[in-house]
Amino acid sequence: MSRIGKQPIPLTKEVDISIAADNVITVKGQKGTSSLRIHPLISVETNENEIIVSRGNETKEEKSLHGLYRSLINNMVLGVSEGYKKQLEIIGVGFRASFSGNVLELNLGYSHPIFFVPPDGIEIEVDTKTKKNPILIISGIDKELVGQVAAKIRSLRKPEPYKGKGIRYLDEKVRRKAGKSAAK
């Protein structure tokens, strides 16, 4: 069996789950609602305080889908109860960020500002008080969407290895290179 797939998914009291006849699972919690269509080869059962994901056969396809759908359902349960959050740090002289009217405005050393409109279900907050560099806090209930938006914003100005300027994750370490003067 799949090591990940055979583990039950624990449910808390504030999370409601419903499984429709057409293999659509809907999870409701205090942060919102999320739904997912389950592959027909995978079956999902609910007990009073846990969800069990199982498969019918031992084919390679079903084994790979077993762990995948268990992880996706677990991410949905955690998303509607706790939510997901990614933090990006903007490092560079004159690099700024501001969020107003559902539009993120970034000044990243280009000749023009960059405007980014977050998709539905994503909240962006700009924190300029705690550190000297601005921090973007991206949060939402969908783990995949939060990670995708954070990666998209980071790709606007990736951290460069010589001075370390750019947008990086808060816990990311950038490997620095020596400049021209080190070659002499």
Are 75 and 94 in the same domain? Answer: no
Tens of pLDDT along the chain (184 residues)?
A: 468 888 999 988 889 999 888 889 999 999 999 999 999 889 998 988 899 998 888 888 888 899 999 999 999 999 999 999 999 999 999 899 999 989 999 999 999 999 999 999 999 999 988 888 999 999 999 999 999 999 999 999 999 999 989 999 998 898 998 888 765 5
- Write down which residue in 34, 56, 81 finishes a domain: 81
Q: What is the DSSP string of 71-127?
A: HHHHHHHHHHHT-EEEEEEEESTT-EEEEETTEEEEE-SSSS-EEEPPPTTEEEEEE
Do both 32 and 100 map to the same domain?
no
Tell me the CATH number at 89: 3.90.930.12
101 and 164 assigned to the same domain: yes
Q: Is 80 left (phi over 0), alpha (psi -120 to 50) or beta?
A: alpha
Both 37 and 97 in a single domain? Answer: no
Q: Are residues 123 and 70 in the same domain?
A: no
In 10 A of CB 166, how many CB atoms?
Answer: 20
CA-wise closest residue to 172 among 84, 79, 91, 75: 91
Q: Is the dihedral of CA 83, 84, 89, 94 positive or negative?
A: negative
For the chain, the first-to-last Cα distance in angstroms comes to: 59
Within a domain: 2? no
Q: What is the pLDDT of residue 36?
A: 93
Q: What is the pLDDT of residue 184?
A: 59
Q: Supply the pLDDT for residue 56.
A: 86
Q: Which domain holds residue 14?
A: 9-81
* 64 and 102 fall within a common domain: no
Q: How many domains does the chain have?
A: 2
